[in-house]
Amino acid sequence: MKFTHASLLLLLPCFFLSMTCHKSNTRHCHYQIDFENKSDKSLTVVLSYDYPDTSINFQSPYIEHDFYGGIAPHQKWYVENGEMCVESILLDHSYERVSLFIFDSEVLRTTPWSEVRKNYKVLTRYDFTLDDLRALGWYVTYE
C-alpha cells in the first residue's frame, strides 16, 4: 500500500507538470496564426493591434516575449496571441486590423532596439482584417 501512495506522489506532479496551458484554435476562436518561413533567414514575428499606427510602438520581442530563437528558415510555426481570441480582440475592441511585423532575428540579436525602432528595421509588415485571416485559413507565408 505504501508503494502505491509513494508512486502516486511521484507520478501526479510529473503528470501535471507535463501539461501545457497552450490554447487550441477552434472554428470561431483563434489564439494563434500559423506561419511558414520560406526564407533563408530566422524570423521573429510580432502581432500588433495598433493599426493604423504602424510605427514600432511595442517593446522589443526579446523583452516582451522572452523569445530568442525565432522561426528557423524553411520552417512552420505559429504566432501566439495570448489569452484572447484574435476574433474577440478585433470585434470586441473595434480594431480594424491585426498587423504582423516580421523581423530578421539576427538583426534583433545584434542591433539595439532603439535603432530598430528609429530606422524601422522591419523586413515586412502584413495588415490583416478578420476577413483576410479567414480567407487565408489563418495561415501566413513569408518568402
Residue 78 has a pLDDT of 86
For residue 131, the model assigns a pLDDT of 93
pLDDT at 24: 67
Contact between residue 61 and residue 89 where contact means Cβ atoms under 8 Å apart: no
The alpha-helical segments, DSSP class H, found in the chain are: 2-18, 61-65, 86-92, 105-110, 113-118, 130-135
| pLDDT at site 43 | 93
What rounded mean pLDDT belongs to the chain? 80
In DSSP terms, 75 is beta-bridged to 37
pTM for the structure as a whole: 0.75
Q: Is 52 a residue whose pLDDT tops 90?
A: no
Cα distance between residue 57 and residue 50, in whole Å: 8
Residue 105: strand pairing partners: none
In Å, how far from its chain's centre is CA 74? Answer: 17
Domain boundaries, the chain: 26-142
Count Cβ neighbours within 10 Å for each residue of 56-75 and write b for 16 or more, e otherwise. Answer: beeebbeeeeebeebbeeee
Residue of 60 and 1 predicted with greater confidence = 60
pLDDT of residue 67: 52
Q: How does residue 26 score in pLDDT terms, banded at 50, 70 and 90?
A: confident
**Strand partners for 79:** 33
pLDDT at 11 exceeding the cut of 50: no
CA count, 13 A, side-chain hemisphere, 131: 1
- How far is residue 119's CA from residue 56's CA, in Å, rounded to a whole number? 10
DSSP state of 116: H
Q: pLDDT (tens digit, 9 = 90+) per residue, 105-127?
A: 999 989 999 999 999 999 999 99
pLDDT tens for each residue of 65-88: 445 568 999 999 988 777 778 888
C-alpha cell at 28: 470561431
